[in-house]
């Protein structure tokens, strides 16, 4: 079945770079787009960016200068890197796959990776 799983460090120091991996199974990254969404503790959801199935990327304009999304199709992995982290970047980070035939509606989500930015 379709699965996504985020992995990465739980703790990152301020000003450092966050690196997260989304490992997927049950579908191909060349057939489905994968989005990243984050959620600060007790707050709402924020769309971060997307790895399109053709390998192109799009980013939230508010994060674009700090954010990079890439992939390794041979390993079924999508990577998120975000630089210059601050305490307000403390959040749970989710990767999510879109509905079949859709570009933007996310129907399958990972469990989330909790990231704390603190010294």
Q: Which residues sit at the interface with another protein, rule CB under 8 A?
A: 35, 37, 44-47, 60, 94, 96, 99, 102-107, 109-112
CB 8 within 8 A of CB 64: no
CB of 76 to another protein, least distance (A): 19
Give the Cα separation of 34 and 85 in Å (integer).
22
Nearer to another protein, 49 or 117 (CB): 49
CB of 119 vs another protein, minimal distance in Å: 27
For the four alpha carbons of 86, 58, 35 and 56, in that order, the dihedral sign comes to negative
Largest Cα–Cα distance of the chain, in whole Å? 43
Residue 54 Cβ vs another protein, minimum distance, rounded to whole Å = 18
Between residues 23 and 46, which has the closer beta carbon with respect to another protein? 46
45 vs 79: CA distance, rounded Å: 19
Q: Which is nearer to another protein, 19 or 39 (CB)?
A: 39
């Amino acid at each position: 079945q379709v699965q996504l799983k985020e992995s990465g460090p739980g703790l990152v120091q301020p000003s450092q770079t966050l690196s997260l991996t989304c490992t997927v199974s049950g579908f191909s990254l060349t057939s489905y787009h994968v989005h990243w969404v984050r959620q600060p503790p007790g707050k709402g959801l924020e769309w971060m960016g997307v790895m399109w199935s053709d390998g192109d990327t799009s980013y939230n304009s508010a994060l674009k200068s700090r954010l990079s999304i890439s992939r390794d199709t041979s390993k079924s992995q999508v990577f998120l890197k975000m630089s210059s982290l601050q305490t307000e970047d403390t959040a749970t980070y989710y990767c999510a796959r879109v509905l079949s035939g859709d570009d933007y509606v996310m129907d399958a989500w990972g469990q989330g990776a909790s990231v704390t930015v603190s010294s």
